[in-house]
Amino acid sequence: MADKETRLQDNVEGKFYIDENCIDCDVCRQTAPDNFGHNEDEGHAFVNKQPENADEEELVKEAIESCPVEAIGDDG
């Protein structure tokens, strides 16, 4: 489970976030491309847009389940 204490600063405010355990595997961006971005300089993903509807939230939750290092958090 992701740790909100190590939440990356690139994340937009909201209940979903990525922490410093991210290995930049691209799974989240492939699963929910509208909600996750990529920091090339730092080599990690981040939440660039919180879900705005049920479909987007479902995809973000799918990304959480698929993350191999459990770096995506849900504080909701």
* Closest to 40 measured CA to CA, from 26, 30, 51: 26
DSSP string, 30-74: HH-TTTEEEETTTTEEEE-S---SHHHHHHHHHHHHH-TT--EEE
Tell me which CATH code domain 4-74 carries: 3.30.70.20
Q: What phi, psi does 2 have (nearest 5°)?
A: -65, 155
pLDDT at 4: 95
pLDDT tens digits, one per residue of 21-65? 999 999 999 999 999 999 999 999 999 999 999 999 999 999 999
Count the neighbouring beta carbons within 10 Å of the beta carbon of residue 13: 7
Domain boundary assignment for the chain = 4-74
| Confidence grade of residue 1 (pLDDT, cut at 50, 70, 90) | confident
